[in-house]
Amino acid sequence: MASAVANSEEVFTPRQQQVLTAALDLLVEQGDRLTMTSVARRASCSKETLYKWFGDRDGLLTATVQWQAAKVKAPQVDRWRLDSASLRQSIEQFARDLLGTIVGDVSVTLNRLAIGHAGAEKHGLGAIVLENGPLAIRKRLKPVLEAGREARLLRFDSSEEAYRSFFGLVVRDAQIRLLLGETFTPAEAEIARDAARATEQFLAIYAVHPAA
C-alpha cells in the first residue's frame, strides 16, 4: 500500500532532474496533455527509463511536483526586531513572495495539474501543492504574527485566522482568475504595490494601533 502522501525527501540524480525539468517545461507549455513520448523526446531519454525511474505517468508527475515544490524554500525572513516598522516590512515581504509566486506560470500550471487530479479522486498532488504552497507560507508567517502579538503590536485570537485573512487580502481573486485562464502578468511594480496595499489593510484590521 502506497502511503497517502510521500513526504520523504526524494533525492534525484542530475540526469533525473534534467528529465523533471523537461517534464515541467512541457507541463507549462501544454498542461496535462503531455505524453510520456514527448517527455522522453524532450529529455532525450527512453520511455523505458522513464518507467524504470518513476513507475508510471502519475509517478512522473508526482515527482515533478514534489521536486518543484521543494525548491520554493523562500528565504526565511531574518531576525526581525519587534518594532512596528520592521513588523510591517516582514509582512510586506511575505506578501510580495506569496503574490509573486502565485501569479507565476509554474504555480498556475502546478495548481491546475493538482486540481485536475483532485477531481479524479487522486488527492496526492493536491496534498503536495497544498503542503508546499499556502501551508508552507503560513508556517513561516506564523511566528512573525505571534511575535507581533507578543509585542502588543498585533491583536488576534488565532494566528490561523489571521493568516487566512492575510492570504485573502494578498491573493484576492487573482489566483482563481489565472487558473480559469485569464492571462495577465503583473509587473514587479504592480506586485509590490499590491503587497503594500494588502499589508496596509491587514494592519488596519489586526494592528493594535493602526495609525502607527
Partner DNA sequence: GCCGAACCGTAACGTACGGTACGGTTCACG
Partner DNA sequence: CGTGAACCGTACCGTACGTTACGGTTCGGC
Return residues touching DNA (CB under 7 A).
Answer: 15, 33, 35-37, 40, 44-49, 51-53, 56-58
Cβ atoms of 175 and 102 closer than 8 Å: yes
d(CA 128, CA 119): 15
Contact partner at residue 143 from DNA, a second copy, none, CB < 5 to 8 Å by partner kind: none
Among 141, 171, 191, 195, interactor with a second copy by CB under 8 A: 171
75 binds, among a second copy, DNA, none (CB under 5 to 8 A by kind): none
Task: Give the Cα separation of 80 and 121 in Å (integer).
Answer: 43
The one of DNA, a second copy, none whose footprint includes residue 114, by CB under 5 to 8 A per kind, is: a second copy
- List the single partner that 46 binds among DNA, a second copy, none, CB under 5 to 8 Å by kind: DNA
CB of 46 to DNA, least distance (A): 3
Residue 19 in contact with a second copy, rule: CB under 8 A: no
Whole-number Å distance between alpha carbons of 27 and 44: 17
111 binds a second copy (CB under 8 A): yes
- Locus of grid cell 526581525: 80
CA–CA distances in Å: residue 84 to residues 1, 74, 90, 204: 51, 23, 10, 13
CA-closest candidate to residue 94, choices 153, 157, 129, 139:
139
Residues that bind a second copy (CB under 8 A): 30-33, 109, 111-121, 123, 126-127, 129-130, 134, 164-165, 167-173, 175-177, 179-182, 201, 204-205
